[in-house]
Chain A
Amino acid sequence: MSAPARRGNGRGGAGRRARWAPALAVVAAVTAGCAPSGTGGAPAPAPSGGGAVRSAARVDARELLRDSWVTDGRRGWFVDGAASADRSPFSLYETAWRLRLAALNPGRPAVDPERLRLWARPAERGRSDSSGLPPVAQIDLAVDALLTAGGTADRADVGRALEALRQGGGYRTAPSAARTDPGSTAVAVRVLTRLGLPVPVPVRQADAAALERLSAREAATAPGEVVPVLQTAALLGATGADRTRAAALATAAARALSAYPVEPVRLAWEGVLRDAAPRLGARLPAFPAAACDGHVLPDGGIGLPGARQGDPQATYWALRLGCSAVRVPAAGAHSRAGWPAGQTGQTALSATAAALALARGTGRSAEFAGPLARQVREVWLPRERRPAPYDTARLVDRVDLRLVARALGGALAREVDRGLPAPSVRGVRAADDARLLLTALDAGDSPAARRTVCATGSPLRAAPAAGGGASIVRATRLAAAAGLCHDPALARRARAEAAAVRAGTALYRSGTALSFEASVMGTWIERPRADAVTAWTRAGLCEGDLCAETPARPRTADGTPLRTLAVLTAARSGDYGALFPVSF
């Protein structure tokens, strides 16, 4: 147990290190353009020179926690990135259409338009790359969501964004699209008229020309091509011969659509056609109220074909058309900022552990406790029944679950400890620093588990192999093991390993580069007397509440993850023991 600190890690010794160098240099060059980027959150301040500490963007932790809190009324959990533009956990599609659905109901769920705007603003400009939607649809849904929630849209930004999509008399789905299409044109005109923005003359002329060109035969054979032209005509207030032509086309299109199967595409077309018909002077037969019978899902909605749950857009149109068997579905789990995207379930446990660490610092844990405890007991704990060996993902979930339970109170922590299969080092190799670290954290709640994993010969207490460089991950696992096993020798090794990658007070490297993650772990191990946040700021890792993995990146960050904010809160209070672990 007396090996020197800067020894190999067992996964690659000194010899391998040399062999890695050229390859890593190439990788570093290749990936220079995709280096770790921002940490999500509020707009970044302008960069400053000289490394001076200056005031910069701060995040209101209490407000962020409330934005991040997702609940269905019974259970609840947190999502991360609530104020992020690039990594929003919210779904623009779900939020916009669920708000429209909710507007049909008197007891509508509350979404705060100002909190919605924090993440929907890029979509207003057609720049929400993570939405999976083309820009024209982003703009439409963002404006729709903001207005339906009772807020306002930025008319100037929306006008500019739409103008970038215009090509002559029509609009494109995206600036990169080669040509315009009637559907995108109808969407753009809908947004412009809704916001009271002028519709360019060429667009008006093009729609009139399209009406003249289209025949009743086309309306009968390809109603989908006619409906958006009619929609635009109605929005523009077609008059005279145009209106007469449009009314005839609407009648022909409605007749053709009546032969289509009852599916979301038809429902949407029928809906917009019937919205347009009165303004075109067309009298269409009523949509049959029984048409949706047999197509309604158990949640009362209409789904995309093959889906088990209702789609909010299809359900909205079915309700608007008067389908008697369709019901307004329950609002479902959402936050005051919007409805989360499906993939957020994958990271909910991690986000919740981080949120509770932050909530502890702001004294707001209690308001979330009830629904969270139900989430732990009914969802998260039951899914962790598999016995050892545990792979990294399983260990991460176990540790996050323990962090959540511990934050919610001793009784729940004990319940989780009893409910989880025992911590174990089974299958973990002595060189696997990350899994050893997680195992040490996993065993922290149980004296019996501590005795097992700390036993003589356990890989948790093994000295690092000789050769190779120092590692902050290894230093952290040694420190965690030292704390768990009350082993001063391991503690000394941990400090020596951390010191070997220290680049300054509270500053540590990952490999050769200064790293925020490494600096948090190193500060947790060495507990310097100095102000860590000041050190991180001077080094360019943080500006205000914006931090990033590598120096000078905070200025490109668009928000602060919950974990980073919890770390900053702990560091500012001088509680370096709370820097790690926050969540994985």
Chain B
Amino acid sequence: MGITAGHGPSRRTVALTVTAALTLGGFALGVTRGATGSTAAAATVPGTVVVEEDAHGKVLTADSSVRDKRALVDAVHEQRREKERQTGTPTPTPTPTATGGGGGHGDQTGFPVRDQWLDSAKTRKAAVPGGQGTLSAAGASYVKVPFMEYYAIFTDTSSDVSWLGERPFDADSIEHTDTWDVGSVGAPFWVVGAPQGATVRSTGSNAQASWTTTVKDNWYSEHAYDQVAFYPPNQDDYSNVFRISHSVTGTFQFGSSFYTVTTRARAYS
């Protein structure tokens, strides 16, 4: 979104402008319940229900009619894999060299971009030693990093946390957190476009955005979010990104007990 459109040396300007505009637009929009037609992610899998939505993201849970939990989660993961297949493996994007190149997505001067999918999962395909129940957390985020590594943009983030046991069928509550994290050399980074209500931190060597939502009396929570960007604060003091990660945490309440599962995928670390 923004970053991949257009060619030439002004690409980064376009990207930043578009991103900033999108972000401002997102800030202006309130979250609505039960909305449909989100542009934040692909079509929802049958059996999931949108409980919160805005221009950039969705929170979904399972419809109360769903009985086959594993089938629903498998369908969500298959949809995620299909999206990754469609996006394909990042390839070099040669562009005209007359501009001198700058290492951005639009002026690579023949250098490859470093884009990649960050996939994480815990207890997927679990050989369940404890019985039928499985606490699952899984996520994917496409991180765009130019060859010169001076920014990172997480796009198409999707994640899900689920309780796959039968007794009890639902958890009393599920707290679901997505965290995007970037380390940097040199100048501190700005976080642009984080979800509404997200916690954002940026120090000299690290920037992080963390988005938490809670669903009650369900076994499933899903997030979809379009774009979180980590930019250097100005065009002269480029600093480089490293230790890029996306993590997913689910805390499940069963009566007075709380269990937590976290999964994490990293790039350049």
Q: List the interface of chain A (C-beta within 8 A of B).
A: 9-13, 16-17, 19-20, 22-24, 26-31, 33-40, 86-87, 93, 129-130, 132-134, 137, 173-174, 176-179, 181-184, 186-187, 190, 222, 224-225, 227-228, 231, 260-266, 268-269, 272, 294-295, 297, 302-307, 311, 313-314, 342-343, 346-347, 350, 391-394, 396, 429, 431-435, 437-438, 465, 468-473, 476, 510-513, 515-518, 548-549, 561, 563, 584
Verify B123–A471 contact, CB threshold 8 A. no
- Give chain B's interface residue range (CB within 8 Å of chain A): 35 or more
B residues near A37, Cβ cutoff 8 Å: 201-203
Considering the complex, give the chain A residue whose CB is closest to the CB of B260.
A93
A residues near B139, Cβ cutoff 8 Å: none
Asked if A264 meets B259 with Cβ closer than 8 Å, knowing A471-B238, A563-B205, the reply is yes
A residues near B102, Cβ cutoff 8 Å: 10-12, 16, 431
Distance A179 CA – B214 CA, assembled complex (angstroms): 13
Which residue from B132, B150, B238, B262 sits with its C-beta under 8 Å from A263?
A: B132
Which residues between 9 and 62 of chain B lie within 8 Å of chain A, taking CB atoms?
Answer: 9-10, 12-13, 16-17, 19-21, 23-24, 27
Distance A174 CA – B213 CA, assembled complex (angstroms): 11
New A-B contacts (7) at CB < 8 Å, excluding given A431-B102, A510-B233: A27-B233, A30-B24, A132-B249, A261-B165, A294-B129, A393-B244, A563-B205
Verify B243–A346 contact, CB threshold 8 A. yes
Verify B173–A134 contact, CB threshold 8 A. yes
Asked if A434 meets B266 with Cβ closer than 8 Å, knowing A37-B203, A134-B173, the reply is no
Which residues between 221 and 262 of chain B lie within 8 Å of chain A, taking CB atoms?
Answer: 231, 233-245, 247, 249, 251, 253-262
B residues near A305, Cβ cutoff 8 Å: 123, 126, 128-131, 133-135, 164-165
- Looking at the complex, which of B66-74, B80-88, B183-191 is the stretch in contact with chain A? B183-191
Verify B257–A134 contact, CB threshold 8 A. no
Distance A63 CA – B239 CA, assembled complex (angstroms): 33
Q: Which of A35, A36, A307, A549 has the most CB of B within 10 A?
A: A36
Verify A429–B148 contact, CB threshold 8 A. yes
Which residue from A39, A174, A227, A470 sits with its C-beta under 8 Å from B255?
A: A227
A289 CB, min distance to chain B CBs, angstroms? 17
Verify B200–A34 contact, CB threshold 8 A. yes
Verify B188–A36 contact, CB threshold 8 A. yes
A residues near B214, Cβ cutoff 8 Å: 134, 173-174, 176-177
Contacts A/B (CB < 8 Å), 15 sampled: A12-B12, A16-B13, A26-B24, A37-B203, A93-B260, A132-B251, A132-B262, A178-B216, A183-B256, A184-B256, A260-B167, A347-B183, A396-B243, A472-B186, A517-B205
Verify B235–A17 contact, CB threshold 8 A. yes
Verify A137–B204 contact, CB threshold 8 A. no
Considering the complex, give the chain A residue whose CB is closest to the CB of B10.
A19
Considering the complex, give the chain A residue whose CB is closest to the CB of B175.
A134
Verify A391–B242 contact, CB threshold 8 A. yes
Asked if A133 meets B241 with Cβ closer than 8 Å, knowing A517-B186, A518-B187, the reply is no
Whether a CB of chain A sits under 8 angstroms from the CB of B210 is yes
Verify A133–B258 contact, CB threshold 8 A. yes
B127 CB, min distance to chain A CBs, angstroms? 7
B residues near A394, Cβ cutoff 8 Å: 268
Considering the complex, give the chain A residue whose CB is closest to the CB of B99.
A16
Which residue from B150, B183, B203, B239 sits with its C-beta under 8 Å from A36?
A: B203
Which residue from B135, B234, B266 sits with its C-beta under 8 Å from A24?
A: B234
Whether a CB of chain A sits under 8 angstroms from the CB of B168 is yes
A residues near B264, Cβ cutoff 8 Å: 342-343
Distance A517 CA – B203 CA, assembled complex (angstroms): 9
Asked if A561 meets B135 with Cβ closer than 8 Å, knowing A295-B130, A393-B268, the reply is no
Distance A343 CA – B135 CA, assembled complex (angstroms): 19
Distance A132 CA – B242 CA, assembled complex (angstroms): 24
Verify B185–A515 contact, CB threshold 8 A. no
Asked if A517 meets B131 with Cβ closer than 8 Å, knowing A36-B203, A183-B255, A429-B148, the reply is no
A356 CB, min distance to chain B CBs, angstroms? 17
Verify B237–A518 contact, CB threshold 8 A. yes
Verify A512–B130 contact, CB threshold 8 A. no
Verify B183–A396 contact, CB threshold 8 A. yes
Asked if A132 meets B177 with Cβ closer than 8 Å, knowing A12-B236, A16-B235, A510-B234, the reply is yes
B residues near A269, Cβ cutoff 8 Å: 254-255, 257
Q: Which of B164, B236, B260 has the most CB of A within 10 A?
A: B236
Distance A303 CA – B186 CA, assembled complex (angstroms): 41
Distance A468 CA – B203 CA, assembled complex (angstroms): 26
Distance A87 CA – B202 CA, assembled complex (angstroms): 11
Asked if A396 meets B242 with Cβ closer than 8 Å, knowing A34-B190, A187-B256, the reply is yes
Q: Per-residue CB proximity of B206-219 to A under 8 Å, as 1/0?
A: 00001010101000
Considering the complex, give the chain A residue whose CB is closest to the CB of B177.
A132
Considering the complex, give the chain B residue whose CB is closest to the CB of A581.
B185
Distance A187 CA – B104 CA, assembled complex (angstroms): 52
Whether a CB of chain A sits under 8 angstroms from the CB of B65 is no
B133 CB, min distance to chain A CBs, angstroms? 5
Whether a CB of chain A sits under 8 angstroms from the CB of B76 is no
Verify A434–B130 contact, CB threshold 8 A. no
Verify B238–A134 contact, CB threshold 8 A. no
Q: Which of B114, B187, B235, B256 has the most CB of A within 10 A?
A: B256
Verify B261–A304 contact, CB threshold 8 A. yes
B residues near A187, Cβ cutoff 8 Å: 256
A residues near B204, Cβ cutoff 8 Å: 36, 515-517, 549
B233 CB, min distance to chain A CBs, angstroms? 6
Distance A420 CA – B52 CA, assembled complex (angstroms): 50
Asked if A26 meets B233 with Cβ closer than 8 Å, knowing A12-B102, A269-B255, A434-B238, the reply is no
Verify A302–B130 contact, CB threshold 8 A. yes
For the complex of A and B, 5 pairs with smallest distance between CB atoms: A261-B131, A306-B126, A511-B234, A306-B123, A393-B268
Considering the complex, give the chain A residue whose CB is closest to the CB of B204.
A517
Verify A263–B175 contact, CB threshold 8 A. no
Considering the complex, give the chain A residue whose CB is closest to the CB of B253.
A183
B residues near A178, Cβ cutoff 8 Å: 216
B161 CB, min distance to chain A CBs, angstroms? 11
B residues near A510, Cβ cutoff 8 Å: 186-188, 233-234, 237
Verify A432–B129 contact, CB threshold 8 A. no
Which residue from B114, B150, B205, B253 sits with its C-beta under 8 Å from A173?
A: B253
Verify A261–B130 contact, CB threshold 8 A. yes
B residues near A473, Cβ cutoff 8 Å: 185-187, 237-239
